[in-house]
Amino acid sequence: MSLKDKILGGLYGQALGDAWGMPAYFDFDHTWAAYGGWITSLLPAPPDHPVHFGLPAGRITDDSEQAFSLARAFIEHGGVTLQAVVEAIIAWYDRVGGDASPYVGPSTRRGVQALKRGEDPHTTGTWGDTNGAAMRISPVGLLHPGDPLGAIADAVTACIPTHNTNVAISGACAVAAAIAVALTEGASLDAMVAAGVLGAEIGRTKGRSWLGPSVARRIQMAVEIARRPAEPRARLRELYDVIGTSLSVPETVGSAFGVLAMAEGDPRQAAIYAANLSGDADTVGAIACAMAGAYAGIDAFPADALAMLEADEVTASYRIRDLAEGLYRLATR
């Protein structure tokens, strides 16, 4: 498996998990009752969904749109810089009509509005404590094959304009470090989890000190739950009840690592588990499947799901294969 295949897998994993989780409801029981069991394919959002109503099957959300906007900016700037992050997030926000959009997260909205008022990007993110940085951080990890410490350092920079708190940075660093390790030849899930814990611990020392439990410990707890000898729905229920799937960073990132472990690194299975986990399922799915895609590579993806993603006009507009080529050139220069 080539590095280029793994980078492409990471980007398509981001989109796959995002779009697969998009139609899930926020409540576990509501999702299972509404769909009569497992969500086993890409589906449109139900008309009564509180955020995603009207979105067709295969449509990504803000999770992947922001990630791909960052990837594009990193390619244009030749790497991860604070200016690239600011430009990417503002460009995305304006493109989707962020002031009126129902799915712009609270930290991102607050940070972007401050940036547009001309405030210093080093201070605009000091209240950002939700999961927006972790959900879009995958391109940073993809730029650092085999270099989790480099991924962690750049992840800190990528968080500053909107999520400059230690809890948000901790989650983003965990995901970036795990993806960096996933890109190595012969990578193991245990090594990815260990890198995630390391990233969470280092990230916890950065940014403004803020409220929140340990991301590292939530990752460990989630993986323990995921590997218990119980049937999958019971393990998902425990992840939902014990780890959580809200906008809280320790919940989202912890559950994403749990989903990755449950799926044993398979991108499609991770997408199914994330969607049926419910809550902020598109974000859990985007993170889990970005990690799984970088681990398993593009050949692990079902052809029909890739075709649906590529057929959607919004998803296709980001030209994922071109982004993968650009990131590959940066990662190997």
CATH classification of the domain holding 39: 1.10.4080.10
* Alpha carbon distance 300, 316 (integer Å): 20
Q: Please compute the mean of the pLDDT values over residues 76-101 and round it to a whole number.
A: 95
- Residues 114-128 have pLDDT tens digits of 999 999 999 999 999
Residue 103's pLDDT band (boundaries 50, 70, 90)?
confident
Instruction: Report CA 165 to chain centroid distance, whole Å.
Output: 18
- Whether 132 has a pLDDT exceeding 90, the answer reads yes
Strand partners, 248: 130
Whole-number pLDDT of residue 268: 98
Residue 7's pLDDT band (boundaries 50, 70, 90)?
very high
Whole-number pLDDT of residue 87: 97
For a pLDDT cut of 90, what percent of the chain falls above it?
97
Whole-number pLDDT of residue 10: 98
143, 179, 174: which is closest to 265 by C-alpha? 179
- Whether 317 has a pLDDT exceeding 90, the answer reads yes
- Residues 265-307 have pLDDT tens digits of 999 999 999 999 999 999 999 999 999 999 999 999 999 999 9
- Residues 245-261 have pLDDT tens digits of 999 999 999 999 999 99
* Alpha carbon distance 180, 248 (integer Å): 23
Where in the sequence is the domain holding 96, given as residue range(s)? 3-331
DSSP 274-318: HHHH-SSHHHHHHHHHHHHHHHH-GGGS-HHHHHHHHHSHHHHHT
227, 229, 256, 220: which is closest to 240 by C-alpha? 256
132, 208, 210, 142: which is closest to 171 by C-alpha? 132
Is residue 71 within a helix (H) or strand (E), and if so which, with residue range?
helix 62-77
Average pLDDT score over the chain = 97
In total, how many domains does the chain have? 1
Helices 249-262, 281-296: crossing angle, 10 deg rounding: 50
* Alpha carbon distance 7, 308 (integer Å): 20
Q: How many CA atoms lie within 13 A of 221 on its CB side?
A: 19
Whole-number pLDDT of residue 1: 82
